[in-house]
Amino acid sequence: MVSRTECHLSMTDAPDAAAVPDALVDRDQWVCWQRQDRDGKTTKVPINPATGRFGSATDADTWSDFATARERVADGTAAGVGFVFTDADPFVGVDLDDCRVPETGTLTDEAAAIVDELDSYTEVSPSGTGVHVLVEGELPEGRNRHGDVECYETARFFTVTGDHVEGRPTTVEARPEALATVHETYVQPDSADREAETAATAAEEAAVDDGTASSEGGRLDDGELVERAKAAANGDKFARLWRGDTSGYESHSEADMALCALLSFWTGGDAERIDRLFRRSGLMREKWDEQHFADGSTYGEKTIERVLRSADEFYAPDGDAPTQPASDDSTESVPDSAASETAARTASPDEHREALQEQVEELRAQVERLERENQKLRAALEKAESDGDSATADENRSGSGWLGSLFSR
């Protein structure tokens, strides 16, 4: 039997179904993953188990059942398997990084306290230096990461090793109260952050009272602002972006700019507040804080800068009815505002390359969907032939039928 210490060291080992909670195995929400270097940093990218090509945590057509994902890893074409969190399932993943000594399995005091509080299925991460805890519950409002603690419930995937931490349940337990406690204690702003945020809010309100603020949007606290944005006529778009859904955008970068453009409207163009709110959204990723520019600016700073450079309309309360930000509601495939559209045109060459890479990945996913549909239609043709429907089969095989027209492409 392979020891738990050895298990996470093998890069092509996939966990047995028996090592993973049935609640996860029974759902067709599995991807594979592979390491990829981006801008000098190594990241884990999702892989479609059925094809071996790029997958997506927001495209269910690129997911599979557990067995298929495991086979892809077993044949050596992927490094591991991962489970995708969605709005339709009750699961929340808590990721604790850099908290474990691989040789001894010892956890840091903070990680041990979190694992004790949640008391649910817990496993060692692929590196052996972190742990993942999965619970049933609902992630509270607020940011989803702070320091080495991250929490996800939708539009993300968790690597799954099956390297169970002894002494913890082997099932995913319902822990809504414990999750709320962990979130409040370790993820929400600490006392220093709260004091700074309170001081900033007071300054905003004082500026409004003095008539020096550019928008009265500063009167809303962050929670009220988010709820007001969700309740607006284009609130569905805001809500999707807020929870990390990039569907309808050609790249993750365009989705970032679209959310920043909406936040610019609601915050009155307050760059610091846009940044603070964006970090609470499901779109937040490590790239946000990476330096992508010669002047030392981070990707997040430049994204906000480009959006604000083109912004010309801000929220101005009128009774209880919020006014609309400039947006194009005619299609889901364009940025949500003129500001983000203009910003996209001024993106740097590096960002253009990344956007093109993301578009290529999306196109690959579309091709894969068409290939699967093609296979289904071919199967229907073969069934028609076996059932004796020779007229229909001959018509389609010759290209005169609608199946034949598809196959001839």
Chain segment 325-384, per-residue pLDDT in tens: 433 333 222 334 444 444 544 455 555 555 566 556 656 666 766 777 777 778 777 777
DSSP strands (E only) in 117-253: 122-124, 131-136, 145-146, 149-152, 156-160, 173-174
Distance between CA atoms of residues 18 and 16, nearest Å: 5
Q: State pLDDT tens for residues 21-49.
A: 999 999 999 999 998 876 566 788 899 99
pLDDT tens for 66-109 read 999 999 999 888 999 999 999 999 999 999 999 999 999 999 99
Q: What percent of the chain has pLDDT over 90?
A: 41
Mean pLDDT of 385-408: 53
Q: Are 34 and 78 in contact (CB under 8 A)?
A: yes
What distances in angstroms separate CA 377 from CA 63, 397, 403, one per listed residue? 21, 12, 7
Classify burial at 307, counting beta carbons within 10 Å of its beta carbon; exposed 0-12, middle 13-18, buried 19 or more.
buried
- Residue in the block written with tokens 């990829």: 36
Q: What is d(CA 108, CA 28) in angstroms, rounded to the nearest whole number?
A: 34
pTM (2 d.p.): 0.53
DSSP 152: E
262 exposed, middle or buried (CB, 10 Å; 0-12, 13-18, 19+)? buried
What is the residue extent of each domain of the chain?
Answer: 4-187, 215-347, 354-407
